[in-house]
Structure 1
Amino acid sequence: MTALGFLYPGHSAEDDYPRIEQLLGSDVRLDLVHTDIGEDAPERLAKGVEQLRLAGAEAIVWACAGGSFVHGWEGAQEQVRALATTAGMPASATSFAFVHAVRELGSLRVAVGATYPEDVAGLFVDFLGAGGVEVTGVHSAGVVTAAEVGAWREAEILALARAADTPEAAAVLLPDTGLHTAAFLPALEKKLGKPVLTANQVTVWEALRLTNRRVNAPGLGTLFTREPIVQV
């Protein structure tokens, strides 16, 4: 059994995690601890670490893109290093998960469909650029609250992805762990005709990567079915 730990801000799309656990269909357990929204300082994140450690987690991921990339590449790295030191195990964050997943797929030109306001979406584009990922198109939905995003379903998510997509993009990224996407990944990829990477999906994949696990799970999209192109 591989136990993976996640620090998840607030309550929005946390039910994606038991769904993903079921879709993995293997000996993987996903343990989730909630943090307060906006509390992304290492000392605050550390409050949930002990609970995950006692649960037997082998790696921890801060399941939040915005609470990571807004600090820039170096700031996000410092955040993850502090988390790993506190946890005494490998650690990462959703923002880095996107970069690593894009590299693995070899899709270094992407489109971004962001629920965030334009300025925040721009910070994510900058973060991707620092990781060597080129953004060919970006669309901002301008949503501020996680509660609103958490109510979106397949139609709204597909519209966001389509609004961002460009012919040059090899993949479409949807960077918000507040979005429910685990149930819609195959449908989104079929309708767009290319890989779709979503926040909760890549967060779980990143935790598996940290523990050197690879699980074939077609229900979770291309990322969980492809052999690695680039080892990170």
Structure 2
Amino acid sequence: MFTRRTLLAAAGAVAATGLAGPHVARAAAPFQQPPLPYGEDALAPTVSARTVGLHYGKHHKAYFDKLNKLVEGKPYADMELEEVIRRAKADNATPVFNNAGQAWNHNFYWQQFKGGPAAPPAALVEAATRDFGGIDPLKAKMVETADGVFGTGWVWLVADNEKLQVLGLQDAGNPIAEGKAPLLGIDVWEHAYYLDWENRRTAHVKALLDERVNWAFVGERLAG
């Protein structure tokens, strides 16, 4: 799981992945953007270095900056990031939810491309075959769902009671807030693709799924 304190461990594998690990001392700001786990040109040509630089360095960073301002002096500042997402939704604290959700979503987003592309492990293939008819039909369902997200949002592959589902969620939509386990998430906000793909959102999503996703990472999330 992504946690605030593990994200602070910037040196070492835990900091690079943003995944769960031992807690460490808190920095001045309660929530810290983790390092990009590869160079800005690592996803090219599917995602250009320019897009990665803007997406990570401007958009992703801004969610952390805004979140830290919003939670200053409030109980949210002492929570883990996932807990903030759940609590803010329950509290109907929309600005906090949106920025916490987008901070977490992007932490996850960058990690799923690290070491990719990589083939899906057998357990993931089995689950995809059971629930969608195979990996290719699963990808097709994600592309179709991306096309159906009106405006801004995300397409998620999730596990729910051991069954795989594809969700299209608006804006900062997050599976954690829906009580589901995220396995793969594709950002369909225009800032994620427009410089490279213009208005061809579904082509961008298909290219990410075919060319950049580390399906071994997805399988690890399913097994975890």
How high is the TM-score relative to the length of structure 1? Answer: 0.28
Return the structure number with greater relative CO, CA threshold 8 A, min gap 6.
1
Q: Which has the higher strand share?
A: 1
